Amino acid sequence: MSRFRREDWLELGLRVLGDRGPDGLTVRALCEAAGRTRGSLYHHFADHDALLSALVEHWAQRDTQALIDAVGTEGDARTLNDLALALDLDVEVGMRRLAAKAEWLRAAVGEVDQARIAFLTALHRPRHGGDAQVVARVEYAAFLGFQQLEPRPSAEEMRALYRRFEELIRREG
């Protein structure tokens, strides 16, 4: 049996969070899903809070910073939207539900939200100038809102709605 790395635990943690929600994100559930012992998990994380902290950091890197790096400062919102819509939205919802459990988690997820809005603002600034942050906040609010709808729109439906949003803001811009 090969060694289960820290990143393996974090990827598994995001999968479990997306599948079972924050209440399913227990040490026991993770160890059972991994087929590993508690000692294996605790080799990488001092305690459950350390695991949660690392999980938020991993999510921020994987689902925010990696997208920012892929799009770059010369990119456009359409490319970013396409990448964002390919994310596991169950993980996004799970992360927000997890954040509701503790102030320090809320703060960490809030930092990710601010980074995402700041990047969107920079992408919209050439076209929308002083209104770029408003456009970015509305666009991000739509992204979060789509995740809450039941049934959730498909990626294709969300992509079509984003395209329509882009058309509307182009007319206004």
Domain-embedded: residue 143: yes
Phi first, then psi: give them for residue 3, nearest 5 degrees: -70, 140
Q: Rounded to an integer, what distance in angstroms lies between the CA atom of residue 3 and that of residue 82?
A: 35
- The band of 169, judged by pLDDT with boundaries at 50, 70 and 90, is confident
Average pLDDT over residues 145-164: 89
Domain-embedded: residue 122: yes
Domain-embedded: residue 1: no
3-state SS assignment for residue 72:
coil
Q: What is the pLDDT of residues 86-121, one digit of tens each?
A: 999 999 999 999 999 999 999 999 999 999 999 999
**pLDDT score of 2:** 79
Domain-embedded: residue 166: yes
Q: Rounded to an integer, what distance in angstroms lies between the CA atom of residue 142 and that of residue 136?
A: 10
Average pLDDT over residues 20-42: 96
Domain-embedded: residue 20: yes
Domain with 13, as residue range(s), is 6-172
- The band of 172, judged by pLDDT with boundaries at 50, 70 and 90, is low
Q: Rounded to an integer, what distance in angstroms lies between the CA atom of residue 41 and that of residue 34?
A: 10
- How much is the pTM? 0.92
Average pLDDT over residues 47-58: 97
Q: CB–CB of 14/52 below 8 Å?
A: no
**pLDDT score of 74:** 87
- Here the CATH number for the domain that contains residue 44 is 1.10.357.10
Residues 6+ apart with CB under 8 A from 126: none
- The band of 165, judged by pLDDT with boundaries at 50, 70 and 90, is confident
Q: Specify the number of domains making up the chain.
A: 1
